[in-house]
């Protein structure tokens, strides 16, 4: 099996796992308290509450035209993996119908339902698939109209929340909003990884001493970049490194000790992959 085929099989497995993690809490937590999910799943749940139509069946039917559009305007692989994701999620919604996690507080159900569903969705998206619905619409809007993906999803969810408040009650809509918010945060965590780091750039006239001290005490890889002061025209060596957040205080102490006049820039780094930072390869 080639490396590409092996990667594809791995993605397919994770998409199926993610689809189950997404579908299970919808039945086991959200539906037990008459709450909604975001996206087309939320609309499918409204049909289920009003007309007793199975959520999984409605979800597939609502996504068919979106799959056709996605195949034409996004990419074939994205569409195929999205079909896999939404089909698996729909099947799991049918299989887990009636499963219950005994949680009495609707707020707790909204929080943990959103957390688990968001984690499942994040696993699917990280493996180049989607769960249909707002994902496909958002990608198309971004590609052709440059509209923010998050903004498009939020607009669709706003419609769902309005329907929820109008058809059911305001409390249900507010709890649904909590679940959607937690779910979006969970997607972000899975997408960006658990390995948040800091990128550090140091400009100093004592870069040799600083480099030696940092290599000795921090034991992180360092790259020296060539620079030039715009005002003075002097050549500069910039120290570039990526470190764990817990190492930041030690680095600041080293810089202050070696060169109190050094310029230190600290940048949030949302995801890191490579030697020394392997959590990014989790999925």
- pLDDT tens digits, 210-262: 999 999 988 888 999 998 888 888 888 899 999 887 788 889 999 999 999 99
Closest CA to 115 of 27, 180, 177, 173: 180
Q: From CA 253, how far away is CA 263, in angstroms rounded? A: 13
Are 112 and 29 spatial neighbours (Cβ–Cβ below 8 Å)?
yes
Which fold is adopted by the domain 197-281? Alpha-Beta Plaits (3.30.70)
Mark 147-175 as b/e (b = at least 16 C-beta within 10 Å): eeeeebbbebbeebbeebbeebeeebbeb
> How many CB atoms sit inside 10 A of residue 18's CB?
26
Does the pLDDT of residue 22 top 60, yes or no?
A: yes
Q: Structural domain boundaries of the chain?
A: 3-192, 197-281
Q: What are the residue ranges of helices labelled H in the chain? A: 3-25, 39-51, 55-73, 76-95, 106-126, 134-145, 149-167, 170-192, 207-217, 248-258
Closest CA to 19 of 162, 125, 139, 167: 125
pLDDT at 73: 75
| pLDDT-derived band at 72, boundaries 50, 70, 90 | confident
Counted residue by residue, the chain has a size of: 283
Are 218 and 251 spatial neighbours (Cβ–Cβ below 8 Å)?
yes
| pLDDT-derived band at 281, boundaries 50, 70, 90 | very low
| Percentage above 70 pLDDT, the chain | 88
Looking up tokens 């970049």, which residue turns up?
Answer: 225
Which is more confident, 200 or 280?
200
Closest CA to 144 of 226, 58, 69, 34: 69
Mean pLDDT of the chain: 84
| pLDDT-derived band at 151, boundaries 50, 70, 90 | low
Q: From CA 132, how far away is CA 74, in angstroms rounded? A: 12
Does the pLDDT of residue 208 top 70, yes or no?
A: yes
pLDDT at 120: 93
C-alpha angle 176-180-184 in degrees, rounded to nearest 5: 170
Does the pLDDT of residue 150 top 70, yes or no?
A: no
Structure tokens at 173: 């809509």
Give the phi and the psi of residue 105 in degrees, each rounded to 5.
-85, 120
CA atoms within 13 A on the CB side of 26: 37
Closest CA to 161 of 30, 12, 267, 46: 46
Give the phi and the psi of residue 224 in degrees, each rounded to 5.
-100, 125
Structure tokens at 231: 């005002």
> How many CB atoms sit inside 10 A of residue 3's CB?
7
Q: From CA 190, how far away is CA 126, in angstroms rounded? A: 7
pLDDT at 270: 67
Whether pTM > 0.95 for this model: the answer is: no
Per the rule left: phi > 0, alpha: psi between -120 and 50, beta: everything else, 229 is beta
């Amino acid at each position: 099996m080639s490396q590409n085929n092996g990667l594809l099989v791995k993605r397919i497995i994770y998409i199926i796992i993610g689809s189950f993690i997404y579908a299970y809490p919808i039945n086991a937590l959200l539906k037990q308290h008459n709450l909604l999910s975001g996206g087309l799943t939320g609309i499918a749940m409204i049909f289920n509450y009003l007309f007793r139509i199975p959520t999984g069946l409605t979800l597939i039917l609502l996504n068919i035209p979106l799959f056709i559009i996605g195949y034409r305007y996004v990419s074939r692989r994205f569409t195929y993996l999205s079909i896999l994701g939404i089909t698996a999620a729909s099947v799991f919604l049918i299989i887990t119908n009636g499963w219950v996690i005994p949680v009495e507080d609707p707020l707790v159900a909204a929080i943990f339902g959103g957390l688990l569903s968001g984690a499942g969705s994040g696993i699917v998206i990280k493996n180049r698939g989607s769960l249909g619905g707002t994902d496909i619409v958002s990608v198309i809007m971004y590609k052709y109209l440059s509209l923010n993906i998050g903004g498009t999803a939020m607009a669709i969810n706003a419609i769902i929340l309005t329907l929820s408040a109008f058809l059911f009650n305001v409390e249900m809509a507010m709890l649904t909003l909590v679940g959607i918010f937690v779910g979006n945060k969970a997607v972000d965590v899975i997408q960006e990884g658990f390995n948040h780091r800091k990128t550090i750039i140091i400009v100093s006239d004592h870069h040799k001493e600083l480099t030696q001290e940092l290599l000795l005490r921090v034991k992180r890889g360092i790259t020296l970049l060539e620079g030039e002061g715009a005002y003075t025209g002097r050549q500069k060596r910039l120290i570039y490194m990526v470190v764990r957040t817990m190492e930041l205080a030690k680095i600041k102490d080293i810089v202050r000790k070696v060169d109190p006049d050094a310029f230190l820039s600290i940048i949030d780094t949302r995801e890191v992959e490579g030697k020394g930072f392997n959590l990014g390869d989790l999925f």
